[in-house]
A and B are shown apart, each in its own frame.
Chain A
């Protein structure tokens, strides 16, 4: 089984064996176009016919409308071209016609499994431009919610990734856990998917009575289940054979493509804006930034589990630190940040999220630029996939952990 390891994965499509050399030698001898013609013919004889395959926009492996134009030589991938934009909804333009409260309801739709973290970004950037000080209680609760969202998001991918490799069971387990966290989120915010809980200046509501106790009791339960995943998935012989050494992404390449989040950390770069540029009160809690050693699919999956453990650790600390007090600042109905610009970066579950706001002092932004994690993470796919096998394509694509709405926006 270990023979299937893909350590020697060629970076470039292998040149036609002999074709390149033979043609070059011929050209040197005669120097006319005939040589090129012969080289082409030689190449054609030695090559099998390539097959162009459209993976997506409707394909079970893409969870959404991502289209990959794949050129296959047998089962080996010669080139990949991701075709994006099937789900482009012009979020940046839409944001220019909405006031800040409405933008909060808008942005939790681009990455729909980490809605609170997106809302938080908008609230933070608007507050920064307003120069607003948010009550301490609100900030701690925001952290609590952001970390639960991270757990929700990672559980989703912990379930879906083995599914792509053909293991069906982890999906059901992950959704069982998600349901418990969802129940908590639903109780607190009233929503299940688009929570719209943050507001400029604080939160929509305070925590309901008892919510903290529920959150407290949830942490050990989820943590115990994480051990289950480790034995069921990480300990599985076939899972190891499918992911170890597959889709190796070195740290430098990950950096140069602007990858972030679990993808970057799996490649050994301990970048996490909660640590490097703390926002909220992340500088006051203890947590580690896990990193991988090999940067392969296995590491990326393992990092997801490790990040969840860290989130649970943060949640435990937050429980004891939430002070009494108000959860929002009284603001007028129409919020008009002063003219100027502000930039906020935050660690979303899928990677780095940045919002850049240019305000002309009106109730809507003049320009609202989004940098979402999935877009940059997906852009490394052609580099990773060239030379891989078709079944590895699924393993690699799945391990990039993207949400199509977050790519196209």
Chain B
């Protein structure tokens, strides 16, 4: 058994299957959670039919529906870019899952700079959004794309700065090491890192374009932003990207602030899953509570509030490290 696991190729296949499984399954669960949690927050019941028990298979049914729909490419669209955009948005999302430490020795791809690889990958998705926006030949889509780009630039900075403070405290940018260092005390317990957690969380919400930072797809202004012209499976892939983004961002936050796979009893991937779902619940809660910010308010929040605060956190973290 151990000999088999030592074989590079066998291990690779196993890792790939596991990562893909996580990638396909967990976002679906989060999507279903969004349906149900929002419904109950809004005095509704949500899906009740598909899958017999409280609509558990609703998203599977939705997926089947999307597959059957016609894939329309607008005549004026840039066909290749339009077709490729969902893939460009999706694939970095899959790759992120490879770098997350799921347990003490359960790290599919270990890297010394894992933290920053993950952040870099998650921002590649926006290239897909821009491609979709530009190729759609639609004014609403274009405005959505420009907003998405501006939003990404504004929020990447506080996010990376907050993450840098964590890396400084851990003395490593390796996600597995960061997780392991929190064995005794989670980083979020330190006051300056707690602020960093909030900064990182706000920036992550903005990067995922989730409310209250969902201006790129603001339905009452821009119809559906870059998604306006998409139908069928391509549209579904964008939706999958969104939920996968929630999961991957949740996993990163859980890893760098909340101790990752470690918990009070019996360390393991389940702790990570629990934390990810708790964070996803927060994200859904925000969606049903907040209106969206205006574009300029979003920018001033990023540059005038989050960036200075993040710099301050780095300062404090450095000070604590040296003293």
Residues in chain A near residue B296, CB distance under 8 A: 3-4, 389
User: Contact between A166 and B292 (Cβ–Cβ < 8 Å)?
Assistant: yes
Residue A321, interface by CB 8 Å: no
User: Contact between A173 and B295 (Cβ–Cβ < 8 Å)?
Assistant: no
Contact flag A60-B139 (CB < 8 Å), given A173-B43, A391-B215? no
User: Contact between B212 and A60 (Cβ–Cβ < 8 Å)?
Assistant: no
User: Contact between A169 and B294 (Cβ–Cβ < 8 Å)?
Assistant: no
Chain B nearest Cβ from A5, distance in angstroms: 9
Chain A nearest Cβ from B252, distance in angstroms: 25
Residue A342, interface by CB 8 Å: no
User: Contact between B221 and A394 (Cβ–Cβ < 8 Å)?
Assistant: yes
Using a Cβ cutoff of 8 Å, how many contacts connect chains A and B? Answer: 89
| Interface residues in B128-158 (C-beta closer than 8 Å to A) | 139, 143
Residues in chain B near residue A1, CB distance under 8 A: 293, 297, 300-301
| Interface residues in A163-218 (C-beta closer than 8 Å to B) | 163-169, 172-173, 176
Stretch in contact with the other chain, from A82-90, A234-242, A378-386: A234-242
Contact flag A51-B223 (CB < 8 Å), given A166-B211, A172-B44, A176-B43? no
Chain B nearest Cβ from A222, distance in angstroms: 15
User: Contact between A392 and B43 (Cβ–Cβ < 8 Å)?
Assistant: no
Residue A390, interface by CB 8 Å: yes
Main secondary structure of the interface of B (DSSP, over half): helix
Residue A53, interface by CB 8 Å: yes
User: Contact between B219 and A60 (Cβ–Cβ < 8 Å)?
Assistant: yes
User: Contact between B212 and A391 (Cβ–Cβ < 8 Å)?
Assistant: no
Contact flag A167-B291 (CB < 8 Å), given A59-B223, A61-B221, A172-B43? yes
User: Contact between A60 and B223 (Cβ–Cβ < 8 Å)?
Assistant: yes
Residue B71, interface by CB 8 Å: no
Contact flag A239-B220 (CB < 8 Å), given A3-B304, A169-B42, A172-B42? no
Residues in chain B near residue A50, CB distance under 8 A: none
User: Contact between A166 and B214 (Cβ–Cβ < 8 Å)?
Assistant: yes
Among candidates B290, B295, B297, B304, residue contacting A167 with C-beta atoms closer than 8 Å? B290
| Interface residues in A29-86 (C-beta closer than 8 Å to B) | 51, 53, 59-61, 75
Chain A nearest Cβ from B224, distance in angstroms: 9
Q: In the complex, A391 Cα to B292 Cα: how many Å?
A: 10
Among candidates B220, B287, B290, B293, residue contacting A394 with C-beta atoms closer than 8 Å? B220
Chain B nearest Cβ from A404, distance in angstroms: 16
Residue B288, interface by CB 8 Å: yes
Among candidates B139, B218, B223, residue contacting A391 with C-beta atoms closer than 8 Å? B218
Q: In the complex, A291 Cα to B200 Cα: how many Å?
A: 42
Chain B nearest Cβ from A49, distance in angstroms: 12
| Interface residues in A149-174 (C-beta closer than 8 Å to B) | 162-169, 172-173
Among candidates A163, A167, A168, A390, residue contacting B221 with C-beta atoms closer than 8 Å? A390
Nearest neighbor of B215 in chain A, beta-carbon distance: A391
User: Contact between A241 and B297 (Cβ–Cβ < 8 Å)?
Assistant: yes
Residue B289, interface by CB 8 Å: yes
Residues in chain B near residue A173, CB distance under 8 A: 42-43
Residues in chain A near residue B211, CB distance under 8 A: 166
Contact flag A238-B293 (CB < 8 Å), given A1-B301, A169-B42, A169-B288? yes
Residues in chain B near residue A390, CB distance under 8 A: 143, 221
Contact flag A169-B289 (CB < 8 Å), given A53-B139, A389-B294, A394-B220? yes
Residue B198, interface by CB 8 Å: no
Q: In the complex, A390 Cα to B291 Cα: how many Å?
A: 16
| Interface residues in B19-54 (C-beta closer than 8 Å to A) | 38, 41-44
Q: In the complex, A166 Cα to B216 Cα: how many Å?
A: 12
Contact flag A241-B294 (CB < 8 Å), given A164-B220, A166-B214? yes
Q: 5 more A-B contacts (CB under 8 A) besides A167-B290, A236-B290, A398-B220?
A: A1-B293, A3-B297, A169-B42, A236-B291, A391-B215
Using a CB–CB cutoff of 8 Å, the interface residues on chain B facing chain A are 38, 41-44, 139, 143, 211-212, 214-215, 218-221, 223, 287-297, 300-301, 304
User: Can you report 20 A-B residue pairs in the complex whose CB atoms are below 8 A from each other?
Assistant: A1-B301, A4-B296, A53-B139, A61-B221, A166-B290, A166-B291, A167-B290, A167-B291, A169-B288, A172-B42, A236-B290, A241-B294, A389-B295, A390-B221, A391-B218, A392-B294, A393-B221, A394-B218, A394-B220, A394-B221
Closest 8 A/B residue pairs (Cβ)? A166-B292, A4-B297, A165-B291, A172-B42, A167-B291, A164-B220, A61-B220, A166-B291
